[in-house]
Amino acid sequence: MKVLPFTIPVSHDKTIIVQTEDMPHFYTHLHRHKEIQLTWIQEGEGTLVAGMNMHLFRAGEIYLFGANMPHVFKSDPEYFLNDSTKKIRTITVFFNPQDKLAALFDLPEMKNVKAFLESYDCGFKVPPQIFSDISGRLLGLLNSDGIDQLMQFLQLLKTLSGVKGLEPLTVNSFPRSINDNEGMRVAAIYNYIIQNYNKALTLEEVAEQAYMTPHAFCRYFKKHTRYTLVSFLNKVRINEACKLLMSGSHNGIAAIAYSCGFNSITNFNRVFKSITGKSPRNYKDQY
The residue-averaged pLDDT of 192-211 equals: 89
Q: What is the pLDDT of residues 37-67, one digit of tens each?
A: 999 999 999 889 888 788 889 999 999 999 9
Domain that holds residue 70: 16-161
Instruction: Determine, yes or no, domain membership for 171.
Output: no
pLDDT band, residue 77 (cuts 50/70/90): confident
What's the whole-number average pLDDT of the chain? 87
Count structural domains, the chain.
Answer: 2
d(CA 8, CA 6): 6
- Please give the C-alpha separations between residue 60 and each of 93, 106, 130, 168, 234, in angstroms, as whole numbers: 16, 33, 12, 19, 27
Query: Secondary structure of the chain: what % helix, strand, coil (to 5)?
Result: 45, 15, 35
Closest CA relative to residue 136, chosen from 152, 121, 122, 151: 152
pLDDT of residue 1: 33
Q: How many residues does the chain have?
A: 287
pLDDT band, residue 2 (cuts 50/70/90): very low
Within this chain, do residues 51 and 155 fall inside the same structural domain, yes or no?
yes
Could you say which of 101, 135, 161 is where a domain stops?
A: 161
Within this chain, do residues 32 and 101 fall inside the same structural domain, yes or no?
yes
pTM score, whole prediction: 0.76
Strands 88-95 and 36-43, how do they pair?
A: antiparallel
Within this chain, do residues 155 and 225 fall inside the same structural domain, yes or no?
no
pLDDT band, residue 272 (cuts 50/70/90): very high
Percentage above 70 pLDDT, the chain: 90
Write the DSSP string, 142-205. HT--HHHHHHHHHHHHHHHHT--SPPBSS-TT----S-HHHHHHHHHHHHHHHHHTTS---HHH
Strands 88-95 and 46-50, how do they pair?
A: unpaired
In this structure, what CATH number is given to the domain that contains residue 28? 2.60.120.280
- Please give the C-alpha separations between residue 96 and each of 10, 37, 66, 101, 222, in angstroms, as whole numbers: 11, 9, 10, 7, 31
Within this chain, do residues 150 and 216 fall inside the same structural domain, yes or no?
no
Instruction: Determine, yes or no, domain membership for 1.
Output: no
Within this chain, do residues 153 and 210 fall inside the same structural domain, yes or no?
no
Q: What is the pLDDT of residues 4-20, one digit of tens each?
A: 555 555 555 688 999 99
Instruction: Determine, yes or no, domain membership for 177.
Output: no
Could you say which of 105, 138, 161 is where a domain stops?
A: 161
Within this chain, do residues 126 and 20 fall inside the same structural domain, yes or no?
yes
Q: What is the pLDDT of residues 125-181, one digit of tens each?
A: 999 999 999 999 999 999 998 999 999 999 999 999 998 889 899 875 555 555 566
Within this chain, do residues 157 and 20 fall inside the same structural domain, yes or no?
yes
Within this chain, do residues 43 and 142 fall inside the same structural domain, yes or no?
yes
d(CA 263, CA 275): 18
pLDDT of residue 247: 75
Instruction: Determine, yes or no, domain membership for 260.
Output: yes
